[in-house]
Structure 1
C-alpha cells in the first residue's frame, strides 16, 4: 500500500502529509457507508416481493432484516477491538471485501435459508466497515475540520435514507430484487481500488491479539436474546414460554458479560471507559435519541395511511423531508462546531428534535398536514445539528488510540437503540389499541383510535428526546 513520507507531526502524532489525501479518504469511507445504508433501505422495500417469491411467511422472511441487524449490533464492539490489532484501515478493507462477496452470494441465493445465511455474512462485513469508519475519518482530518467531516458523514446517511426506498422499489419492480445485492459488486470493486490507493494512515496497533472470547460471545448472545424477546412480546403482548426463555438468556448473558469485562486483563470493552462522563453521556444521548427516532419512523406511516388515507408513495415523499433537511443541517452543524466549539451544540440539536416530536404529536391529533410537514422538516434540522457535534465529542473524549472503540460503541448504541425503538413502537401501539378493546389489524382500527394511540407515542418520543437533551448538556458540568 505504499509508504507515507515522514514529516512534521501534529498534536496527535500523525504526519501532516496524511491530511493531503483527507478528502479522498473521506470519499472512500463515505461510499462504503452510503452503500451499507442504501442496502438496508432497499432490502426493506423488497421484503414483500421476496416473501411472495419464496412462498414463505413474514415471520420467517423478516429474519433477512432482523438477522442482519442483530449481527451488526452484536459485532460492532468486537471488530472495534480487533482493529486495535489489525489496524482500522485494514479491517475496513477486509470488511468491504466480505460485504461485496456476500452481496454477490445474496443475489444468486436460490432459497430463503441461503439468503438469510449470506445476509448474516454480509452483516459481518458491514459491521467491520461501519464500526471503524468514524475513527478513520477522525484520524484523517486536522482538529479544525473534524466537525465538518463528521457532518458530511451524517449527510451521507441522510442521503442514503432519502434515496434508498425509491431505488429499492425501482430495482425490485424493473429488474428484480436480486439486483439490490448485485449492484453492490461493481461499486464494491471501485471502492476497493480507492481504498488500496488512499487509505494509508499511520496507526498504533497492538503486537498480540488477546481477544476476550467469553465477553465477545456473551455480548452477541445478550443482544440477540434482547431483540428476540422484544420481537416475541410485540407480536401479541403475551408472556409465553419463548419470551421467558429469551429473557432468562438475556439476563444470564448480561451478567456474564459484565462479570467477564470486570475481571478480564484484556476485556472486549473496558468498563472503566464509562467512568468518563465526557464519553458516556454522548453515547447515552445517541442511544436514547435512536430509541425515540425509530419509534417515530415506524409509527408515522401507519398514521398517514390509516388516518389521513395517504398512499405509500405519498407517505414516502413526506418522510423525505427529514433526510432532506439533514443533508443541509449536518454539514452546517459540523462547520459551526468547528468554528465556535460550542459545548451546547449537540444539546441544541436535540432540543430542536424534542420540539419537533411534540409538534408532530399535536399535528397527528389535529390531522393538520401543515403542522406535520413543518414538524418533519424541523425534525431533520434537529437531528442534523445533533449528529456531528455528538459524534465529535464522543471521539474526542478518549485517548487517540481508543477512537476505534469509541466509534464502535457509538455505532452499537445507535443500532441497539434503533432496534429497541422499533419494538417499543409496536408494543405501545398494541397496548394503546388494546386499552380501547380493539384487537384487529392496525390500519383498520379507525382514525380516532389510531390518532390517539400514535400521538401518545410521539409525545413519549418527545419526552425521550428531552432526556437526551439533558444528558447532552450535563457533559459540560464538572460535577454531576
Structure 2
C-alpha cells in the first residue's frame, strides 16, 4: 500500500515525470555548438537529432496516450522514467554520431510514454475545479526545470563537457522514478477494451520524417523521392484510420466533429512552432552571431524561467475562471517578445535579450494552463489519454518541423546561422502568432453559437 500524500506533493511528483525532459531541451540547445564540434557535423546535420527526437516523441504521444487508457498508468509512468534514465546515460557515454542519434531516439520514446500518463493522472486524480490549479503547479514544476536547465547546462559545459549534461539528466530521472514508486497511487484503467494501432503510428512517423527530408535535402531527386514516400505513408495512414474506424486507429472517434478540440489543436501547432524555433535556434544565434558565452546565455534563459516560476500558479488559477482571456494575453505577450527578436540582429546587449526572454517566458506562462484546460475539457473523459495524446503530438511535432523547415533556411552555405535566415524565421513566427490569436476569436464564436442554440432549445421546451 502506497503512502498517502497531499494534493500539492502529488502534483509535484506527477509533474516531475517530464522534469528531466524539459531540462534536456534547454541544456542541449546550449550545448549544440559543442556537439557540432564533438561529432564533426554541420549545424544543418545536427537538425537530424531534433527531427528524429521530436518526430518519435510526437508520434509516440497518441500511441502511448491510447495505451494509457488501457493499462495501469503507474506502470507506464515508471517504465518511461527508467528508459529515459538509461538512454540519457548512454547518450553521454558514446562517441559515435549515429549511436548518439539512436539513444536520443530512445529518449524521445521514453518522453512519449511519460507525458500522456501525466495528463491522464491529472484528469483522474483531481476534481474538475482543481484542473487549472493542477496545470498551474505542472507549469511551475516545468518552469523550475527551465529555470535550472540553462544555468546548470552552461556551468556543466564551461567546467566539464557536454557529456555531463546527460549524466545529470539520468540522475534526476532515477530520483523521480524512486519517488513515483514510493508515493504514486494506482489508477484503474478504463473498462473499455482498447486496441493500439502499431501500423498507423509507423506510417505517420514515416510521413513526418519524409517531409523533413524534403526540407533538408539539397538535391531535387531526393526531394521528389521524399515527397512520394511522404504522400505514400500519409495515404496509408489515412486509409488505415478510416478502415479501422477507431478499433486499431491512432485517432479517437469523432475527433473531426469536435470543433473546440480541432481549433485548439491548430492553435497549439502555431504556438509551439514559434516556441520550438526560439528554443532550437536562438541560444546558438546568440553565441555565434553576438559572441555571448554559454554561461551568459544560460543566465538570460534563467530570467525567462524565473518569470514562469513566479506567475505559473497565478495563471493556472485565472485559467479556471477566464481561460480564453488569459490565453489571448499570453499570445499578445509572445508577439512582443518575438518583435524584440526580429530587431535584435545588430544588438548584443545582454539586458536586451534578458527583457526579450522575460516577455517570451510570460507569454508561455499565460498560454499553457488555459490552452491545456480548453483542450482537456472538450474531450470525453474515457478517452482523455487518446485525445490528449493527439493534442500533444500536434504540439511537439512542431519541433521536427522547426528543425527541418527553419533549419534549412536559417543556415548559410558554410552551415552556420545567418542573420538573414534568422530574420525570416522571426517574421514567420509573428505570422503564426497572429493566426493563434485569430483562433481564440473563432473559439468565442463557437461558444456563442452554442449558447444561442441552447437558448432556443430552452425556449422551445418552455
Query: Are 1:134 and 1:150, in contact at CA under 8 Å, matched by a contact in 2?
Result: no
Displacement of 1:50 in angstroms is 5.0
263-272 or 245-254, larger mean C-alpha shift: 263-272
Displacement of 1:197 in angstroms is 3.0
Could you tell me which of 311, 319, 337 is aligned with 1:329? Answer: 311
Query: Are 1:98 and 1:122, in contact at CA under 8 Å, matched by a contact in 2?
Result: yes
Could you tell me which of 463, 470, 475 is aligned with 2:431? Answer: 463
166-175 or 212-221, larger mean C-alpha shift: 166-175
Displacement of 1:62 in angstroms is 5.5
Displacement of 1:98 in angstroms is 1.9
- 2:61 matches 1:79: no
Report the secondary structure of 1:270's partner residue: coil
Report the secondary structure of 2:267's partner residue: helix
- 2:21 matches 1:36: yes
CA RMSD of aligned residues (A): 3.2
Give the TM-score taking structure 2 as reference length: 0.84
Residue 341 of structure 1 corresponds to 322
Q: 1:61/1:345 Cα in 2 relative to 1: closer, same or farther (>3 Å)? A: closer
Query: Are 1:80 and 1:405, in contact at CA under 8 Å, matched by a contact in 2?
Result: yes
- 2:458 matches 1:473: no
Equivalent-residue separation in structure 1 for 2:374 and 2:422 (angstroms): 34
Displacement of 1:287 in angstroms is 0.7
Residue 399 of structure 1 corresponds to 380
Displacement of 1:304 in angstroms is 4.5
Residue 178 of structure 2 corresponds to 193
Map 1:248-259; keep pairs closer than 5 Å.
248-259=228-239
Equivalent-residue separation in structure 2 for 1:142 and 1:410 (angstroms): 21
Equivalenced residue count is 446
Residues 430-479 of structure 1 show CA distances to partners (whole Å, capped at 9, x for unaligned) of 6xx8xxxxx56656x6xxxx3x6544542331221111011123222234
368-377 or 80-89, larger mean C-alpha shift: 368-377
Residue 358 of structure 1 corresponds to 339
Q: 1:111/1:333 Cα in 2 relative to 1: closer, same or farther (>3 Å)? A: same
Report the secondary structure of 1:224's partner residue: helix
Residue 380 of structure 1 corresponds to 361
Q: Whose RCO is larger (CA < 8 A, sep 6+)?
A: 2
Displacement of 1:390 in angstroms is 0.5
Residue 419 of structure 1 corresponds to 400
Report the secondary structure of 2:129's partner residue: coil
Q: 1:319/1:52 Cα in 2 relative to 1: closer, same or farther (>3 Å)? A: closer
Q: 1:309/1:24 Cα in 2 relative to 1: closer, same or farther (>3 Å)? A: closer
Displacement of 1:184 in angstroms is 4.0
Gaps of 5+ in 1: 4-17, 233-237, 434-438
Displacement of 1:415 in angstroms is 1.2
Map 1:139-218; keep pairs closer than 5 Å.
139-206=124-191, 208-218=193-203
Gaps of 5+ in 2: 451-462
Give the TM-score taking structure 1 as reference length: 0.81
Query: Are 1:132 and 1:408, in contact at CA under 8 Å, matched by a contact in 2?
Result: no
